[in-house]
Amino acid sequence: MANKISYMTREGYDKLKAELDELRTVERQKVASQIGEAREKGDLSENAEYDAAKEAQGLLELKIKQMEEVMANARIVNEADLDSSKVVILTTVKLKNLKTKKEVSYTLVSETEADLKLGKISVNSPIGQGLLGKVIGDIVDIQTPGGIIQFKILDIKIDL
Domain CATH number, residue 134: 3.10.50.30
- pLDDT given for residue 93 in this prediction: 95
Q: Are 88 and 152 within one domain?
A: yes
User: Over the stretch 95-116, which tens digit does the pLDDT of each residue have?
Assistant: 999 999 999 999 998 888 888 8
Return the H-helix or E-strand segment holding 155: strand 147-158
Through-space distance between the first and last CA atoms of the chain, rounded to whole angstroms: 32
| Section 81-107 average pLDDT | 89
Q: What is the largest CA-CA distance in the chain?
A: 70
Residue 1 inside a domain? The answer is no
What is the number of domains present in the chain?
Answer: 2
Which residues span the domain enclosing 54?
A: 6-76
Together in a domain, 35 and 104: no
pLDDT at residue number 38: 82
35 and 94 together in one domain: no
pLDDT at 49: 84
Calculate what percentage of the chain has a pLDDT beyond 70. 94
Task: Select the highest-mean-pLDDT range: 1-5, 7-11, 66-70.
Answer: 66-70
User: Could you tell me if residue 39 is inside a domain?
Assistant: yes
Last residue within a domain, chosen from 60, 76, 92:
76
Arithmetic mean of pLDDT over the chain: 87
Q: Is the pLDDT of residue 1 over 50?
A: no
How many whole angstroms separate alpha carbon 25 and alpha carbon 34? 15
b/e per residue, 21-53, with b = 16+ CB within 10 A?
A: eebeeebeeebeebbeebeeeeeeeebeebeeb
Strands 139-144 and 147-158 turn out to be antiparallel
